[in-house]
Structure formats: structure tokens, C-alpha cells
Amino acid sequence: MPKPPSAARLRAARLESHGLRTGLPTVADAVRRLGAVQAQDFTAAKWVLGARVPGSVATDVDAAVESREIVRSWPMRGTLHVLPGDRLRPILAITGPRVLQQVATRHRQLELDAHTYRRARTVAEAELAGGAARSRDELQAAWEAAGIDTRGQRGYHLISWLAHDAVVCWGPVEGRGQRLVLLDEWLPRPAAAEDRDETLAELFRAYIAGHGPATVRDFAWWSGLTLGDARLASAAAGDAVTPFDDDRFVATDAGWPADPESPTPRAVAGLALAPFDEYFLGYTERDAVCDPAHAGRVIPGGNGVFQSILVAGGRVVGTWRRGRGRDATSVVLEGFDAASALDPATFTASLRAWARFWGHPLGSVTVA
């Protein structure tokens, strides 16, 4: 029996899949490679992509949105993601009804029923018709004017409901955010709908290509699908994926399983990655890249807010933060413990790329 791949080989394969080893050509290529990028924090999502596209700048992400190559909406887990524009509809056809079923209790608590939804949809379609775009506040003001209460979380849940029903999505970039548009106008419907099994297969293939080696259970969590649908997706992907070990898959064309005894490529230089980066976030089991004893430092208090991470040799070894006020171009690094003492020089190249991405010089880099 061949021996299982080493942890170092697994991390090297993941760095390659994520596009963090040699980089990817464009922002759209990075999104398509990863399948989708969690993006409730749009600013963080931009650097998730920028870290994978050498020489890119933040406006490249805006341009990819404006060209409709990528789109931001709620395709999976009831959470905002950036994904390829042509993948939103087929994914929503599977995930949208499931998410709406999961939030039905919350809708009842907020007294959001089918009648209220239909009224809100009629107003939204009138406000956004003809290529118009509205901010969240503007759309909620239109609802209020029509007698639809948006207080509490009602406004947010109405927008999310419309998005899961493939009525609206986020469109033009404005400042640090976006404006809402009608999905049918922003991304017109294709001539033919995609088969459900085909969508499942493509979603699994994309996830493995951008996150592998990964398990079916990882995919089920990431996609928000049932484990049964995740298994169907794995089977439907066919020979586009191949086993990396007993539980994990990689893209067949990645070449990783061809010779498990071959030398593991040298680890990439230190990486300063964004909050919510898929390299850490995109799995249920993260022990291979982060010591479980330190995982709480990435998600303090388990509150779902992920910190910016430092990666060396494929391992998450600390966090980093930008300075405030007059020190906004400076960066502070923080290792997890004395054993993971950080050398700022390890991360300088990545931090310079981050600063260039946002259009400012890199200031001092210090260790807390």
C-alpha cells in the first residue's frame, strides 16, 4: 500500500490549487478557479482575489464586476459571495429554495409573509426597472414609502429573499460597496437552463480545482448543500477530479496524485492574506494548515469574524492588521506564540503587493 501524502505535500497542493504559488492571470480567472469567494466584507474579498493575481489593483475587481465577468450575491450558505457571472443562476436554482426554507422561522418572527414579499418585489422591480440601480438605503426608503416596514432586520431579509429568488443582485460599484440591480437586466437569462446534475458536478469540480485537496464533507459545508447532494456532486464530477488520499480530492489536471513519492515543491514565501480568505475559511477541517490550538486567534470568540492571516510554508502562523489614523500604511504582525516568532522580512513582499493593490506605500512592519 502506498503511504499517505505528507501534511507538507497537502499544503503545497492547496497553495497550488488556490493560485497562491504561481499566481493567476486575472481577477476573473481567480474567481473561476476558486468557484466562489465569501464576500460579506467586499473590501476583504478584493484582497482575497488580489493576493492571487500578481500586479493587480483594487479597481481590477471593480472592472470585473462592471463587465459582468463576476457577480456578488447570496448563492450559498445565506452568505454573500463573489462568483463567475454565468454560475449564479444555476447555483441559486439549487441553493436558493434550501436557504429560504432554513430562514422560514426567522421570517415568521419578523412577520415577513408571502404577501409582504410580493408587495416588496413589486416595488423593487419598479424601482430598478430599465437598468436603474439603488443603494440598500434607497430601496428600503422606497419600501417605507409604500408602507412596507423595514425596521429591525426586515429590510435586509427582504433584499436577501429577493436575491435568493434570483430577482436582484449587487451591481455597480460605488465607493466601498455596490448598488442593487435586477438580475434579469444585469445578467440576462441564458437560452437554456442548466441540468441540476450538471450544476452539481460543475460546482464540485470548481471547488476542488480551487480548494483541493478537500473532502466531500468540506464541499458540503462550503456549498451549503446536504451531504447527500454533495456525494451526488462528487460522483457527477467524474474524471474531472481524482483522489489525493483516502478522503480528499484534487483536480485531475493538477497532477498531484501522479507520483506521490516525488519531492514536495518548496514552500512559497510568506503570505499576508485577507480576512475570510478561502485558504483558511473554505473547509470544515482546518488542522492541516493551522494548529487547532491557534484557530481561535483567527476567529476570536468563534463569532464568525475572520482575521487577516499570515501564512508561511503553507501554515497559518499568525495574524496581521493595518495601523490606524496617521499610521494607516503601517502593519503590525502578531505570531501565535513564541515558537512561531515572526520575521517581518518573510512577509514584506506580500505586504508590498497588498499596499500596491490599494494604491498606497507600505509603511513600517513591526511585530507585536
**Sheet with strand 168-174: strands edge to edge:** 37-38, 79-84, 70-76, 168-174, 177-182
The answer as to whether 264 is a domain residue is no
For the segment 162-193, what is each residue's pLDDT rounded down to a tens digit? Answer: 999 999 999 999 998 999 999 999 999 988 88
- Among 45-49, 92-96, 202-206, 259-263, name the one with the lowest average pLDDT: 259-263
Share in percent of the chain as helix, strand, coil (round to 5): 50, 15, 35
User: Of the candidates 136, 159, 186, which is a domain's last residue?
Assistant: 186
**Sheet with strand 241-243: strands edge to edge:** 214-215, 248-251, 241-243
The answer as to whether 162 is a domain residue is yes
CA 222 – CA 243 distance, rounded (Å): 19
User: Of the candidates 186, 212, 238, which is a domain's last residue?
Assistant: 186
Q: Are residues 143 and 198 in the same domain?
A: no
What is the pLDDT at residue 52?
98
Higher per-residue pLDDT: 252 or 265: 252
Q: How many CA atoms lie within 13 A of 206 on its CB side?
A: 21
Q: Are residues 296 and 241 in the same domain?
A: no
The answer as to whether 240 is a domain residue is yes
Q: How much is the mean pLDDT over the chain?
A: 93
For the segment 77-118, what is each residue's pLDDT rounded down to a tens digit? Answer: 999 999 999 999 999 999 999 999 999 999 999 999 999 999
Residue ranges making up the domain that contains 154: 11-186
CA 212 – CA 135 distance, rounded (Å): 37
Q: Which is nearest to 124 in space by CA: 155, 87, 88?
A: 155
DSSP one-letter code for 129: G
pLDDT band at 5 (very low <50, low <70, confident <90, very high): confident
Residue 197 confidence (pLDDT) above 90? yes
Q: Are residues 60 and 96 in the same domain?
A: yes
Q: Are residues 179 and 200 in the same domain?
A: no
Q: Are residues 174 and 234 in the same domain?
A: no
Q: Are residues 223 and 87 in the same domain?
A: no
What is the pLDDT at residue 1?
44
- Considering its fold, how many domains does the chain have in total? 3
The answer as to whether 34 is a domain residue is yes
The answer as to whether 261 is a domain residue is no
The answer as to whether 6 is a domain residue is no
Q: Are residues 220 and 179 in the same domain?
A: no
The answer as to whether 134 is a domain residue is yes
Q: Are residues 213 and 333 in the same domain?
A: no
For the segment 281-313, what is each residue's pLDDT rounded down to a tens digit? Answer: 999 999 999 999 999 999 998 778 999 999 999
User: Of the candidates 169, 186, 203, which is a domain's last residue?
Assistant: 186
Residue 120 confidence (pLDDT) above 50? yes
Q: Are residues 115 and 174 in the same domain?
A: yes
The answer as to whether 263 is a domain residue is no
Q: List beta partners, residue 312.
A: 315
Residue 338 confidence (pLDDT) above 80? no
CATH of the domain at 243: 1.10.10.10
Q: Are residues 339 and 356 in the same domain?
A: yes
Query: Between the CA of residue 32 and those of 71, 127, 193, 270, what are the distances in Å?
Result: 11, 31, 20, 24
Q: Are residues 219 and 113 in the same domain?
A: no
For the segment 141-167, what is each residue's pLDDT rounded down to a tens digit? Answer: 999 999 999 999 999 999 999 999 999
Q: What is the pTM of this model?
A: 0.93
CA 292 – CA 285 distance, rounded (Å): 10
Q: Are residues 213 and 179 in the same domain?
A: no
